Amino acid sequence: MADHPPIESYDELDSTNAEARRRAEAGTAGPVWITAALQTAGRGRRGRAWSTAGGNLAATLLMTTDAPPAEAAQVSFVAALAAADLADTCLGVGAAKLKWPNDVLVYGKKAVGILVESGARADGRLWLAVGIGVNLAHAPTDAERPATALAEHMAAPPPAPLEALKVLAGRFEAWRSLWATQGFAPIARAWTERAHGLGDRCEARLPQRTLAGVAEGLDLDGALRLRLDDGSLERITAGDVFFGGGA
């Protein structure tokens, strides 16, 4: 028996997240993984386009939760840990680092994008669409930040997308189970152990302002603690963070 929810594989979809949303709004509760060899309208965070070149992985887990929205959003950290495990499986332990809120870096460059969307169900619960894109074979050349693909660091060819998804889905289920039974604390600890940039200066670009300071760590609700130049502490709950070198 598989140690993860079932996987539905398609040759082409507009977006695996969009397909998950359609399923959710039609009443499907999941859990089910939806993957496509080609996305014609893939999306990243903040409405950015997400390219899915041949040989890369695009997948979304549709699931349902009883958790309130703020707590349910912690699933992005679960997804990041699972994706980092996939990268380490291919490249060796330590290859992947995590950058707040949910980017996975491989040797300092972005290799994974995560997009979590949600909505209310008729029964009062939340549906979650946890989208994960992994640059297995190719990296985009027009990305906002330096990007890489797992293939660039492997002597052998990277895993096929469906095989990679099986690993990713298994690791996601392991972290999700830990989150469900023990809460966010062990997820926060595991994320911090693999964090990129803690103790370094960074710039946090928020919807209405930009802040600069030192990234101190992760709060137990997933917020980033940023120590500003005047000594005050700011909790960053939404936005983009840039460290030296553009990562």
pLDDT tens sequence across 5-22: 999 999 999 999 999 999
Per-residue pLDDT, averaged over 216-237, amounts to 91
Kindly report, residue by residue over 92-123, the tens digit of the pLDDT.
Answer: 999 999 998 889 999 999 999 999 999 999 99
Residue 67 has pLDDT above 50, yes or no: yes
Residue boundaries of the structural domains of the chain: 7-193, 201-246
Structure tokens at 189: 């600890």
Q: What are phi and psi of 242, to 5 degrees?
A: -120, 130
- For domain 201-246, the CATH class is mainly beta
Q: Where are the alpha helices (DSSP H) in the chain?
A: 16-25, 69-72, 75-91, 161-182, 185-193
CATH class assigned to 7-193: alpha beta
- What span, in angstroms and rounded, lies between the C-alpha atoms of 223 and 220? 7
Q: What's the distance, CA 133 to chain centroid?
A: 8
pTM: 0.90
Q: What are phi and psi of 147, to 5 degrees?
A: -125, 160
Residue 82 has pLDDT above 50, yes or no: yes
Q: Residue 223 has which token pair?
A: 């917020």
Q: What is the pLDDT of residues 131-151, one digit of tens each?
A: 999 999 999 877 677 899 999
Q: Would you mind telling me the total number of residues written for the chain in this entry?
A: 247
The three-state secondary structure class of 151 is helix
pLDDT at 74: 95
Average pLDDT, the chain: 91
pLDDT band at 240 (very low <50, low <70, confident <90, very high): confident
